[in-house]
Structure formats: structure tokens, C-alpha cells
């Protein structure tokens, strides 16, 4: 038998984790999956896979404004990797929302310069109406939650409700999922109805080392402003 190189072994571990995640459909199954994955999600998956998704979303988000006055919402925040990046960029009022209490517990332990990264962590199912207040957020970001079996375009309506006028969005959407659910037509309709403005899609890699031809290794980051 040929011995795998460390890089091949990490890619195999990533593919196995993703196979399981992509086969998981709906809120209850996701709650169960992430309950068991939470303790090793960062030390295992994020590290082994060379995940750069959160960094790519934060770059697109921070390039989209010169000043942001108001809180940022991290959608499907998981263990808080986006929050960590936002804190490094000097943003300090960040809330996270996620269905998994175990993933949120990891995010709650995240600190930057000795202070918790997140102001507030909210447990909620984003496939339906949440308790987020109307117009509360000046920024909305997401990596890894608009993907197979998790969130579709309709969740963006709920996020727009919770966004203040002009709020900046940077939502990472798995490229295969983007196509399957017609995110471009869905967002284009909101743009022509005046619910969003300045719509752009940025194609970015999800991992440091990606297969050019595999849409599951690429994200289309939808950058726009709430109308």
C-alpha cells in the first residue's frame, strides 16, 4: 500500500468531514452534528483543511466601508473564527448567532487582547423568524453557513429585517449551493425591488489549497448594502 503524505492525509480528513456535513439536512440534524463536532472543529477541521473562508469574508467586508458605526452580526458563527478576524481588524461590537449551543460555547471562550470577542451570542434557528431586533445591525457577515443542508436565500430576508438602512453585508455562499438555489436571481430581484444596493459577487477560495474545478472549494461572497 502506498503511504499518504501529510497533505494527502489532511485532505482526506477534510473530505470525510465535509461528506458528513453536506449530507446533513435541516436544523435538527445540524444541531446534532455540531454538538459532537464542536470540541474538535477548530483544532481538527479548520487547521487540517487549511480553511481561509473566514479571512476571505472579513477582507471583503472590511474593504466595503471606510467607517462602520454599529454592531456586526456573525451569521452561523460556530466557534467564532470570523469574530476573531473582525476583532483583529479593530471591530469590537460583534454578536454571533447559531443553532448549536456547543459551537456557541466555544465562541464564548474566544478572546482578543484579554476581552471576549463577542458581545452577545444568540442561539437560534436561522431557517425561520428569530428574536433579532429590527434594524439592529450595521454589518452582517457569514462563512460556512450558506451551504448544503444549512441556509438558503430566504434567510437573507430575516437578516435584512435585522439590518439598519445602509448596513454592509458580506455573506459567503458555497459556489455549488449558490448555483443550486439561484442566489444570484434571488438577490437580483431584491436589488431591483430596492431592498438591497451595490450588489457584487466576489469569488474566493475556501481553503489555502483548492481544486480550481471543484465548486465546493470556492465561495461566492455576496457583498451588498441594505436598501
Ligand X SMILES: C[S@@+](CC[C@H](N)C(=O)[O-])C[C@H]1O[C@@H](n2cnc3c(N)ncnc32)[C@H](O)[C@@H]1O
Which stretches of the chain bind ligand X, using CB under 6 A? 27, 30, 34, 53-54, 76-78, 81-82, 98-100, 103, 125-127, 143-145, 150
**How far, in Å, CA of 214 to CA of 212, rounded?**
6
**How far, in Å, CA of 103 to CA of 21, rounded?**
15
**What is the closest distance, in whole angstroms, from the C-beta atom of residue 50 to ligand X in the complex?**
13
Nearest one of 85, 56, 57 to 208, comparing CA atoms: 56
**What is the closest distance, in whole angstroms, from the C-beta atom of residue 190 to ligand X in the complex?**
21
Query: 201 or 207, CB closer to ligand X?
Result: 207
DSSP state of 168: E
Query: 92 or 127, CB closer to ligand X?
Result: 127
For residue 76, give Cα distances in angstroms to 10, 104, 173: 24, 9, 12
Query: 39 or 227, CB closer to ligand X?
Result: 39
**How far, in Å, CA of 190 to CA of 226, rounded?**
10
**What is the closest distance, in whole angstroms, from the C-beta atom of residue 55 to ligand X in the complex?**
10
**What is the closest distance, in whole angstroms, from the C-beta atom of residue 192 to ligand X in the complex?**
28
Q: Which residue sits closest to ligand X, CB atoms considered?
A: 78
Query: 100 or 217, CB closer to ligand X?
Result: 100
By 3-state DSSP, what share of the chain in percent is helix, strand and coil, each rounded to 5? 40, 25, 30
Query: 27 or 227, CB closer to ligand X?
Result: 27
Angle, in degrees to the nearest 10, between helices 101-108 and 27-40: 40
**What is the closest distance, in whole angstroms, from the C-beta atom of residue 123 to ligand X in the complex?**
9
Q: Which three cell numbers stand for residue 188?
A: 437580483
Amino acid at each position: 500500500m502506498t503511504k499518504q503524505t501529510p497533505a494527502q492525509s489532511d485532505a482526506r480528513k477534510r473530505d470525510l468531514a465535509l461528506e458528513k456535513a453536506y449530507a446533513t439536512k435541516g436544523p435538527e440534524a445540524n444541531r446534532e452534528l455540531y454538538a459532537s463536532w464542536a470540541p474538535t472543529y477548530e483544532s481538527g477541521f479548520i487547521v487540517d483543511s487549511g480553511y481561509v473562508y473566514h479571512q476571505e469574508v472579513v477582507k471583503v467586508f472590511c474593504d466595503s466601508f471606510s467607517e462602520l458605526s454599529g454592531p456586526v452580526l456573525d451569521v452561523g458563527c460556530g466557534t467564532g473564527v470570523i469574530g476573531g478576524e473582525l476583532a483583529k481588524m479593530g471591530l469590537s461590537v460583534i454578536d454571533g448567532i447559531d443553532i448549536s449551543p456547543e459551537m456557541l460555547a466555544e465562541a464564548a471562550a474566544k478572546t482578543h487582547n484579554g476581552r471576549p470577542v463577542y458581545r452577545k451570542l444568540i442561539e437560534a434557528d436561522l431557517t425561520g423568524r428569530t428574536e433579532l431586533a429590527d434594524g439592529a445591525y450595521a454589518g452582517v457577515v457569514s462563512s460556512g453557513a450558506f451551504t448544503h443542508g444549512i441556509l438558503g436565500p430566504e434567510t437573507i430576508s430575516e437578516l435584512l429585517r435585522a439590518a439598519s438602512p445602509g448596513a454592509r453585508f458580506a455573506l459567503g455562499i458555497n459556489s455549488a449551493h449558490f448555483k443550486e438555489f439561484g442566489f444570484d436571481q434571488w438577490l437580483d430581484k431584491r436589488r431591483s425591488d430596492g431592498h438591497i444596493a451595490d450588489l457584487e459577487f466576489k469569488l474566493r477560495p475556501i481553503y489555502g489549497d483548492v481544486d480550481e474545478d471543484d465548486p465546493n472549494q470556492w465561495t461566492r461572497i455576496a457583498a451588498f448594502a441594505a436598501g
